[in-house]
Chains A and B, each alone.
Chain A
Amino acid sequence: MVGYDLCHQKDFDCKLILKSKYSKTKKILSVSYKSLFCTFFQIISISFIVLDNHFIYEAMIKSKNYFILREKVRSFKSEFGIKYQTKNNSKDNLIMNPEEALFLRIKKMSANGYLDESTIVSLNGSNRLEQMKNFLEIYRNSSNQSNTIILGDLIHEFLESQIDTLFIPFTDKTCGISNGYCCDFALTLWCQNQSLSWFIYPIIVERFDDYPYQLNENQYKSIKRNLVTVEGSDSTLINIPIANRNGERQNYYLFSYEKEIFVYPLRDVLNG
């Protein structure tokens, strides 16, 4: 009997007050009901976000039930046509056999690669070595474009003052017009090689394939000395010559031998 305490006047007024209080009480209850209803839905909404928590996910993926549930959800999605499959989702899939796609191979590889630490310390100091190691740790095996920038980084660090023009054999003839984005070189992919021009600016990068860019065994043996060697993505070894930093600028060329690449002057390779 809400409101009787205030209702001590005439009967008529009292009835009015009671009526008004009754409707307002109903209103209060309705507001409270709505508030509860709303809070409930807000909590449910937040729960969906909380469910997608990094740590919950990490814990979940360790359980077998998760994979069973995931497969069920996926088959449910496919049944209702929800999951739309693109035929070629990634640039990594440009090569014909998907099993050979770089991102699949990368998953099988270890993150640590070879780094010619003593030579780098003697040339650039230990501080630079630490920074370079961190850079390589971030970018090595991260994508099909990482070899391009690891090569660029090494050229900038060790040969910046030596090179006038760098010739790379990534032309339509060697890479194929349709696959212009990626080139298969030294048994791995080199994609978005335009980044190389940005990376080693002001060195000029020229696409040119009219030179023997695949080394034979003798040439390989003769130039495989006095080099800084760093392991790039996909176990590719990148070799940079230790040049006289005060020497004159000259043109350098990109060569390959199996899974190794070399940045070297053409004359030295031919003479070697």
Chain B
Amino acid sequence: MYQWAFLIFLYLIGLLYINVLFPNLSNNHRQLLSPFFGVGFSGVVVGFLLIARIPLSLPYFFICLLLILIFAKILLKILYLHNLSWGQLFAHTSSNVLSISFVLYLVISCFFVLSGFADASPDSTQFEATGRYLAQGGLVNSSTPQMAFMLNGRLLIVGAMHAMTRLFGGYSLYALNPTMCVWLLLFLAYTIFILNRKVDNVTRILLLLFFVITLGFYKHFFNGMFAIHSNQLSMIFFTVSIVSLYFFTVTEEKSWVYIGSLTIGFACLTRVDMLLCSLIFFFLLTLIRKTDYNMMKYAWYIFFVSLLPWRAFTLYYTPLNTWYVNATQLYLLIGANIILCLLSTQLHRYNRTPVNLIRKSPFIVGPIIIFLLIFFIPEKVELSWNLFIKYILLGHSTWLLLIISLIISTISFYYIDFREKNYYILFIPTGLYLFMLFLLVAFAGYENVDHSASRMVFHTVPLFIYSLFIGFSTAVTNKPKTSREMLAS
């Protein structure tokens, strides 16, 4: 039951933070996003304590959590963004607690805690060990065995969650991933329901149920959510960030962009390779015509503030030559984000964003990169072709079906893209992500050794299925205009 208390705490703390940061969002959206925020901010606090070389304990954790909350509130007041008094904030949060959403969360989390079901892999033992190390007062120390691996491979967010469970009196963490995955499913289902407002209620509900069944019982999602690993939280944060961008284009509410940049920051704190996904996120943000310079600037600020302190800290302890992620790879990933930041902000600063050209750029730049790689390092391309394309994507039946589905849906992509201009945001990330994984395997893969890219394809699954359903509903509901409507137009 201690673990259940921890999961409830995550919801409540997320709710408190989201009420401070985004009070203008609808109540349902805040409730549905709060567990994800709870996980993200708890991880950030653990990271802050580690950087400050303070051993992890509940009193220090709560003090730090409160300090960050106060800091965020003061900052927002200075920026004249929101000015909610403390009284209003706590009243708001306590009224939110008495909601269907919270009760549903209690039921889901309790179910997974009581079921006690989890799927442990070799990596799970290391996440568990990292959590124990931190909970037992361990600090980042160069004399500790495999510290660079622990920092870049097992921290921050997942290791922190395991540590917090121990501090809350729990024995080992296993219910977090299934709870969060089911909650993501509910969040996505709710957004599908909201986005199809023009459709009659019966169709909406049928569409929602069809989506829940399709994604919820999708073999890899259904089984994968029980795994004790970092892929689940990375998948959740990545999906929420891209869906937030899509929501921004629909509602024109700026908060969604900032939610997206914060969650993609959390994704990068969960797994270091998610720094590739942040490139996709900001690339898509650059493409949105409604994005202005200030919005772009703040989105990057939020991303870097959440990410850079931890990454700079880990860089200090990461040698140039190590078997896991090395310092050069970290510099490359962070450097790519900084370059994209400079490019995208400057383009928006002078209002000269060639949106159409950038939109087409993946189709131009992608083949050029492949051509250059074949020319300069053909052995790496061959390795990635064999390991990623042949062995992972085409070799595993589950990914093969996903790829066939992706190829078939591409045929209808152009029609839907014509009807729904923002569909690009949901559909393209899967293709871009797979291309990036291809490059990742080329540069960080080894012959005869399995690569985690097999698990990483999982990150894009909910987003892809979500895009299929948005595409499906667009195709179905876009009835041709009547002759009178045609005449009128």
Contact = CB atoms under 8 A, between A and B. Distances in A.
Nearest to B386: A84
A38 B122 contact: no
Contacts of A54: 217-219, 222-223
Interface in A9-43: 21, 24-25, 27-29, 31-32, 34-35, 37-39, 41-43
A245 interface: no
A82 B394 CA distance: 6
B189 to A, nearest CB: 15
A48 B214 CA distance: 10
Interface in A199-234: 199-202, 205
Binding site secondary structure of chain A: helix
Given A44-B408, A84-B390, 15 more contacts: A24-B483, A28-B481, A42-B472, A49-B465, A52-B220, A52-B401, A53-B217, A77-B395, A84-B386, A131-B172, A134-B171, A142-B120, A143-B120, A195-B126, A198-B130
A196 to B, nearest CB: 8
B422 interface: no
B475 A38 contact: yes
Contacts of B448: 86-88
Contacts of A199: 128-129, 132-133
B10 interface: no
| Chain B CB within 10 Å, residue with most, of A31, A52, A152 | A52
A188 interface: no
Interface in B191-214: 213-214
| 8 closest cross-chain pairs (CB), A and B | A131-B171, A84-B390, A142-B120, A84-B391, A45-B409, A48-B405, A198-B133, A38-B412
A195 B465 CA distance: 37
A41 B411 contact: yes
B474 to A, nearest CB: 9
Nearest to A73: B397
A51 B401 contact: yes
Nearest to A92: B122
B137 A45 contact: no
Contacts of B253: none
Contact of B133 (A2, A77, A82, A201): A201
B218 A53 contact: yes
B174 A34 contact: no
B469 A46 contact: yes
B96 to A, nearest CB: 31
Contacts of B478: 35
A235 interface: no
| Chain A CB within 10 Å, residue with most, of B398, B405, B406, B478 | B405
Interface stretch (B138-146, B243-251, B278-286, B288-296): B138-146
A145 interface: yes
Interface in B421-464: 447-450
Interface of A: 2-3, 6, 21, 24-25, 27-29, 31-32, 34-35, 37-39, 41-46, 48-55, 57, 73, 77, 81-91, 128, 131-132, 134-135, 137-139, 142-146, 148-149, 152, 156, 191-192, 194-202, 205
A160 to B, nearest CB: 9
A94 to B, nearest CB: 11
Contacts of B342: none
B415 A194 contact: no
A3 B487 CA distance: 10
B87 interface: no
Contacts of A149: 125, 128-129
Interface in B351-374: none
A49 B122 contact: no
Interface string B385-405: 011001100110110011011
B468 interface: yes
B59 interface: no
Given A41-B411, A83-B390, A142-B120, A88 B480 contact: no
Nearest to B448: A87
A144 B176 CA distance: 24
Interface in B88-134: 116, 118-122, 124-126, 128-130, 132-133
